[in-house]
Structure 1
Amino acid sequence: MQSLRPSCSPIQMQKYRDLKGGKIEMDDNQSTAGAASPIEGIQIIRADQEHAVDVLRLLKGAAQWMLSCGIKQWNPEQFTEQAIAGYFVDRQVYLAVDGTEAVGMFTLQFSDLQYWGDLNDESYAYLHRLAVDVTRRGQGLGEAMLQFAVRQARVLGCKALRFDTVAHNIKLNRYYQGLGFHYKGTRDMGAGRLVNLYEHFEQARGHAKVLLRYISPADFEQLKRWSPSAEYLKQWAGPSFRYPLDEEQLKHYIEGSNHSAESESLIYSAVHSATGQVIGHISLSAIDRENHSARISRVMVDPEFQGRGAGTAMVKEVLRISFDALRLHRISLGVFEYNTAALKIYEACGFRREGNKRESALFNGQYVDCIELSLLDREWRGDAT
């Protein structure tokens, strides 16, 4: 996560000064003395100028590690003593410490016009400079700091936590999505560098707690288990796959997908937020960026979770991504006439019938119609407000 140093608003800067001076109370788990993280022995503290050496070491170390891995995100030369000194003026700096050793860090600021542009809102907290000591990688420290930052944003009275990350790293984007961060758009920072914008927010009450994250090859086995027959595979995937579903077809299916600003399809696994279990699949395909349209396709909910709101939650999140993040105008889909449960979900989400593709598919020796539905952005925004 990269940033120059956008200034805080006067209101947010006063809030920062009050908090640093002890005028705003923190809860018992987030005292100024240090908050316990989910990792035993790790405390997260607010840093000040005396910790500048630790901050510089962590950032340079993270940048060097990125270069060694061929990741062109940070450069060690960009982190100087002068730059670090500025952090303590225009943002809050946090350290994860193990005893007396600083092992991770991040910063919070309250405006980010450079990265968020017209979406910038000073009532949010913006996370930058998330870094973990190379000796502590793979231990869950990054996730622990993100969880702390989400809580801390609320303590500070912010609406939610936001951050940006490089768009081309699908694995990294998938990781953040799996932690409950929702895609809000992509920004072109020039010189071919795209960043994806994310925000952490809770789903509305009454909705199934479902997260959408980019599909991974590790999810292939689940898709194959959900396709026990040619008829069932055809029901949720149409003619796009042949039975039996196999690894080769699925690799071809996801090839070139999930580059948010460029791909013709965004392919998601639906994850139960409480357990991490993959419980569904959905894709946004045929993305036409010239005419601002796309199509929802290949929707599947684990049979154990059908009828429990998961399908509705999946469709609503894809619609939010389509209209709010990608700023599309029209979303369409098709559903076979006998699939009344799916049809009910789509119409409850605001889709309107356009017509029938008569006898367009053969099931069990009988031809069935495919009902075509669509939803426009203005209709969705009317329903969403």
Structure 2
Amino acid sequence: MSSVVVLGATGALGRVMCRAFAEEGWEVFPAARRGLPDYGSTLREIDLNRPETIAAAIAGGDVVVNTVPHEGLIAERLVLERGGLLLNVAAPSRAARLRLMQARPKTPSGLVVLNVGCVPGLTNLVAAELLRLHPSSDTLEIVITFVASGTSGTAAREWVHKYLTAVAHHRVFTAPLAEPYGTRRCLQIAEDEQGWLAEIPQMLDVRVGACFLERSMDRGLRALNAMHVLSRLPRTLFTSPPPFLSRGKRGDEATRDPIRYWTAVYVSGERIGARSIEGQGDYLMTGAATLATAEALLHHADARASRGLCSVEEVLNLDAVAAGLSTRHVSILARS
């Protein structure tokens, strides 16, 4: 039986992740700052602001999954120094990734894989595959679909708020998403993240777009964008949404709203390749993608022997996780 330590196990994504691994027969060790009755005595105490608590919390797991968006990446540094395998599903910023690269040991003992999950994560693998198939591409396009009333914790909502309010006005582009989204005008966000890819060709333009399942939310955000006031949106609108956006859902209930992530490549404005990542519930899909990634890393000898710091597309390809995704109802479909 394989084992996993889940950091941030009492958060919305952490709880979904614990259930996902447990349902597949893994031994799960939840770790967090605060306990919940569900975990009882199995909860391991960890505080990422107190490095002395980390080593004991992550001991004994074949894999460590970090769901906590901690800019210090302290757990990642420890694994690089002392050994082990850690998958980060918290989408650390480019600045945090660069700091970790600069601080990593010259001879690492463990493997830390960043950008695991769906976005970033599966979009990285799909983008790498499309760029391999179409090396002449001059534009890479990624669209993230959100559900305002879906499962999300405070950290995830803060992540969305950060990118939507980074500037007063975003560029807008149109993408032909799969139903029930359809063709949408998307706000271009996260310009500094380069699609969360480790490396991109020098002349490649990367654009990341965002749209919401709820068309009224989309229209409202585009109207604010047109008035150049998006940067004024209060953080509390996202971290403490009004009841009509939350549907009364508790943060740990994994909703099953339709998710349709989009990745495409272009040459001189002409689309030459595209994929749609489809499933139900972004947290459920993130759990499935993380499971498939963990299995691939443990079962592929070359990946298992790797050491150091990398993004998921640097250590795995799309084929390595395809079987694990299909059995968990996540589809990656070719689009015209």
TM-score by length of 2: 0.27
Whichever of the two has the greater Rg, that structure is 1
Q: Report the structure, 1 or 2, having the larger strand content.
A: 1
Query: Which structure is richer in relative contact order (CA contacts within 8 A, separation 6 or more)?
Result: 2
TM-score by length of 1: 0.24
